[in-house]
């Protein structure tokens, strides 16, 4: 049985995610490595960085990290309805450390059923990718 989700994740807690070499270059992570409106991570409080590596995805052998305090500011910033990033604890039976970085319309609770526009999703992917740090480079 999964543990009860925490209402918040500390701003300085590293969150880890696996990444493939094809989804990076010498300047960082590409938007192709990111899913939105919800992107899975592992919380460092409940796991080790290496736990994100699984045999089912052998090419995804790198590890990237971010903390809730490093999440991008809302997008879009110039025009249109802004979406804010937030980290949500989301443990399940298979992965006690699972959490997600999600986007929601600023001031409106997150809803899985809400589908942001495709260009907004891509913008959010690019902005999150831009802020990820490499913990261990993929090979």
Which of 76, 96, 110, 135 contacts another protein by CB under 8 A? 76
Q: How far apart are CA 27 and CA 115, in angstroms?
A: 30
Cβ-based nearer residue to another protein, 102 or 125: 125
Which of 5, 10, 45, 122 contacts another protein by CB under 8 A? 122
**Which residues from 8-27 bind another protein, rule CB under 8 A?**
22-23, 25, 27
Total binding residues for another protein by CB under 8 A? 27
Task: Decide if residue 33 touches another protein (CB under 8 A).
Answer: yes
**Chain positions contacting another protein, by CB under 8 A:** 22-23, 25, 27-28, 30-36, 75-78, 117-123, 125-127, 130
């Amino acid at each position: 049985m999964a543990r009860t989700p925490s209402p918040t994740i500390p701003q300085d807690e590293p969150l880890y995610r696996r990444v493939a070499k094809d989804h990076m270059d010498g300047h960082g992570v590409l938007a192709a490595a990111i899913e939105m409106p919800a992107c899975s991570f592992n919380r460092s409080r409940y796991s080790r960085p290496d736990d994100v590596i699984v045999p089912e995805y052998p090419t995804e052998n790198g590890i990237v990290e971010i903390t809730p305090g490093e999440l991008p500011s809302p997008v879009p910033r110039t025009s249109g309805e802004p979406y804010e990033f937030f980290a949500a604890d989301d443990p399940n039976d298979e992965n006690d450390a699972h959490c997600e970085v999600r986007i929601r319309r600023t001031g409106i609770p997150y809803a899985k059923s809400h589908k942001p526009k495709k260009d907004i999703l891509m913008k959010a992917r690019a902005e999150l990718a831009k802020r990820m740090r490499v913990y261990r480079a993929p090979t």
